Amino acid sequence: MRLAIATIDSFAEKAFQGNPAAVVLLEEELTAVQMQQIAMEMNLSETAFVQKRDRAHHFNLRWFTPTLEIDLCGHATLASAFWMIQRGWSKIGEEMTFATKSGPLQVRNEGDVLEMNFPLLKTEVRTHPHFSTEFMGKKVLRGAELRKNWILELENADAVESCHPDFMEIAAHSEEGIIITAAGKDGFDIYSRFFGPNVGVPEDPVTGFAHCALMDYWFQRTGKKRLKAYQASKRGGQMEIEENENRVLIRGRAVAVFEGFIHF
């Protein structure tokens, strides 16, 4: 079998920024085993697989890390929608609806910006049983729990940027991963980073999923419904998030960096 595949940098203004995802637009159905093998071969944080449905503008979408299938991924959804427009699977101005493990997700084009409509992930303020006061030498102000993940708020944006994670320790004290965050700087409302060693992603460069939870966390903290967010990984990436009736609107850009074929 010969499949076209592309690598897209999401939440990026230019190549080699943001978060790369592989995207496969399927003309034929693949098994979950085949999808997992391709994701392992690509070895990116996520590989997305899109397949047309019977209804116009409706598609199936699945996401795989190198080790397992996941329920929700923002940057690979953004990458998929961007590449679908480039390949003529959708047109500028059309809304795309994706059937996923997290329910239906909508993406629409706003010129050079894509807007994703994702579920708001509820967070509950709670003290982490291990990182109650300190995380990798940085003071923890408060914590919050969401399904399979934790949020830890640090003192400031500089603490988020300069944090040096011990992935073995994080893996031992989390189910999926840990999001660190703080009030932002340089025109951004919030800063964050996401560590997910237990899902095969030691540090994810820019994470849409995490911001579905961060929107809820910071809305509870500040009452603000619209935030400009920066994920302070080495690659860096930015987005705008907005609370909208228990949903999160995530706006960002994407750039194509590679196109080729995979044979198996």
Q: Are 152 and 140 in contact (CB under 8 A)?
A: yes
CA diameter of the chain: 53
Q: Provide the token pair at 241.
A: 């998030």
Indicate which residue of 28, 46, 145, 175 is catalytic.
46
Distance of CA 171 to the CA centre of its chain: 19
Q: Are 170 and 130 in contact (CB under 8 A)?
A: no
Q: Are 191 and 5 in contact (CB under 8 A)?
A: no
Q: Provide the token pair at 82.
A: 């961007």
Q: Is 247 helix (H, G, I), strand (E, B) or coil?
A: strand
Determine whether 145 is an active site residue. Answer: no
DSSP per-residue codes, 71-105: S--HHHHHHHHHHHHHTTSS-TTPEEEEEETTEEE
Half-sphere exposure of 248 (CA within 13 A, CB side): 27
DSSP per-residue codes, 103-168: EEEEEEEETTEEEEEEE----EE---SSSSSEETTEEEEEEEEETTEEEEEESSHHHHHH----HH
Residues marked active site are found at: 46
